[in-house]
Structure 1
């Protein structure tokens, strides 16, 4: 009997790394992993897949794997990484593995500052139920997909194209590994200033991506009333066909795809998609927010472009459950709505808050916000201008600790961030900083009333504050 190949993940507890680990387990590999800590839902997910993992860094536990995968947040001084280097073991970055085991002849890459995860999850779901047996990688937990990573036998792959760096030893954007034949580009708004200290650095990565498209390929790019000048510059560099998607009033060319909202509600929203100056189809979704309808339009358009039947696209749209932590409703008890959202930048927070305000026009909105590392820098301060105009209260918790070095730009602490948000938003916006988590939750419990909305915005887990808020408000 042939011995199983062994793959070890250093930093296995990330959503992407965990999904890739489960994919290799299903492919018959021996899979092990390590991380500094393990928390639900990823820890439970790994246990269910019967993957062996341990907390901390222990070179003596690694063994002699065929491949070692190193997460992009893992330090070059990590003991397991140093051990693998000394032993001359095969070390790979995350996107290298995606390229080798997931990318297919027809490669759809979904890129942009926001909307990547939702659009790529929808496409994977839609193309799967169209019986094309695709491969995919999606950087989030999507209920319609059994796993965020899958190696199918068909000729199509769908990949969330992250602009973040490949690894500590390779600063190239991950999406440059994925050989796109088809590209969806949702937006190009400077982000991740910890990796891209100048806007030009950020734009250069997207320019390289656009130039990867073959002449027979296609770029499906968003267009809005307020033009995204960066996006327009990027697509002008591509030597391939450009197709646009957006609201009906901004679409001019008949080859492009537009949407029109027919009805919005918290239970179901209906919209019409147009192409070739006529109705392509009428669709319905349970997802929140106009921006979600825009995301679905991108997915519907790409499905239509590659030949998925309309009935199958409609079924996929109606059944699509979205992605965890994207305007995910956690509770509506006591008629107080609590949402969890991954919006870790002021740009993404603004979009999510605008969507909530559309559904709850009379509500008081309490936004609990923790930015990622790049949106705590001095450079990022300008992005907070009017970012919280749809909220009534902004609550800043104690910010999670991050690694720093002397070469990195100074980062704001929670108090400084609170002052910047207050300074750059409407005068009647109430902004508070909470050093103690329990005090923040108690504030929400005592200040909220029926009809109010609480939304947690950030990429961290909020140290159990979401669950605690649900419990305390449910019993108040």
Structure 2
């Protein structure tokens, strides 16, 4: 399906993060876009409205017409959705968004970055370097990036860089998204059990990455982190005529709270980001960029100006040596990596971590055991659960004792009231040098930027 031949597209469940960005990207190509959802939250609602797209709030079968070139089905839409049923009755082409992106990129070189953590940052690094080098490329990334208007772009570029999520594509197509793109260059940043609501066992979850690696075509490249045990096992497996490119953390040093990359031919390169996981991410991006023809000169020049993706160790406020960060820590492995990064980067002063247990897996009494010792390098540790999320689908609610036992630390303090959490944070002023809010949620109604400013005043 050539993008230049598409005239009209409809999105069922348009409010999703990638869905609404894909809709806006298609509209920029002068494609007529319609959409619907049962609810649309910010920032999607505002972005769609600003672009003149006014999706139906509630399902409207009248939007499903015979002249549609494609119907894009979001994961949020159920298989008995009335719009979906009408599209099926009319025999319209129905795609999940990864299937549709694959269709639109049939003639492109496809780079897909997968992994339980780090994939947004690696994708963002590659995009930043390619843009700095003047390369023409398309992209799909799960985080907002500075200097990129949308998180999706579809054009006539010869390359597409895709963040490949292992979550399912749609109710009609219950396969991981990253299996739908048919990569030429694949990356596995690391494998740690997640999405327990979909992959009920560790073995089932891990199998998806094996399937991803197996999809690497002959003459294709598989890039994987050899410092991650599971990624190394999956990546090192023999596959016919597949180039295996293991990577580790980039050599570096920390001086006065600043990280410098140590290179053979380019001296020490100062970077804005930090942490062992980001040093791994840099080398993953380096391997991809090398295949895409970017010289080391261009790579290091560009990576020195990379500030990170939004919500990925993002500096919210800083004053007189006190810093407040925000990070998208949705799983135990990400929490551990971020806490360890802060611990090694900032030796002077205490570190206070406020972590929100938010996802389905994190609120599961069995899965929460995966969090053991993830906060051991935090001097002060606060755990917050939004009361609206306390009761998970199994009907079993977590309590303070469950949380303290799971994390295995007596210094962990539990909160289900966001005002009490805010007061406890403010009490740490003058005692703590580094604060961090870590979550894939929103800490209830807490205004993180305002709270961050209060903490550094």
Distance 1:475 1:293 in 2: 28
Residues 185 and 221 of structure 1 are in contact (CA less than 8 Å); yes or no, is this contact kept in structure 2? Answer: yes
Q: Are 2:83 and 1:75 aligned?
A: no
Q: Which residue of 2 aligns with 1:439?
A: 420
Partners of 2:321 and 2:362 in 1: how far apart? 33
- Indicate the residue corresponding to 1:256 in structure 2: none
Shift of 1:228: 0.6
Aligned to 1:323: 309
Alignment of 1:383-398 (within 5 A): 383-391=370-378, 392-398=380-386
Tell me whether 1:284 sits opposite 2:270 in the alignment: yes
Contact 2:390 2:398 survives alignment (8 Å): no
Once the two structures are superposed, residues 49-75 of structure 1 have per-residue CA deviations (whole angstroms, 9 ceiling, x without a partner) of 333234343444566643221211322
1:9 aligns with 2:11: yes
2:222 touches 2:235 (CA, 8 Å); kept in 1? no
Do residues 371 (structure 1) and 354 (structure 2) align? no
Q: Is the 8 A contact 1:102 1:150 kept in 2?
A: no
1:51 to 34, 53, 57: 53
Does structure 2 retain, via aligned residues, the 8 Å contact 1:272–1:279? no
> How far 1:396 sits from its partner (Å)?
1.4
Counterpart for residue 243 of structure 2: 241
* Cα contact 1:344–1:371 (8 A) shared by 2: yes
Note the residue ranges of structure 2 that are not aligned, 5 or more in a row: none
Residue 186 of structure 1: how far off its partner (Å): 0.9
Distance 1:291 1:191 in 2: 18
CA-CA distance at 1:295 after TM superposition: 0.8
Matched residue, 1:250: none
> Taking structure 1 as reference, are residues 243 and 449 closer, same or farther at Cα in structure 2, changes over 3 Å only?
same
Q: Does 1:218 align with 2:221?
A: yes
Which residue number corresponds to residue 260 of structure 2?
A: 270
For 1:427 and 1:404, locate their aligned partners in 2 and report how far apart those are by CA, in whole Å: 24
Q: Indicate the SS of the match to 1:299.
A: helix
- 1:397·1:440 contact (CA, 8 Å) conserved in 2? no
Instruction: Give me the TM-score of the superposition, normalised by structure 1.
Output: 0.85
Q: Which residue of 2 aligns with 1:422?
A: 404
Does residue 462 in structure 1 map to residue 443 in structure 2?
yes
Helix, strand or coil at the partner of 2:77: coil
Aligned residues: 450
Normalising by the residue count of structure 2, what TM-score does the alignment of the two structures yield?
Answer: 0.88
Query: SS of the counterpart of 1:20?
Result: helix
Relative to structure 1, the CA distance from residue 269 to residue 364 in structure 2 (aligned partners, 3 Å threshold; closer, same or farther) is closer
Structure 1 residues 4, 134: CA separation in 2 closer, same or farther (over 3 Å shift)? Answer: closer
Cα gap change, 1:474 to 1:422, in 2 (>3 Å): closer
Separation of aligned partners in 2, 1:32 and 1:309: 42
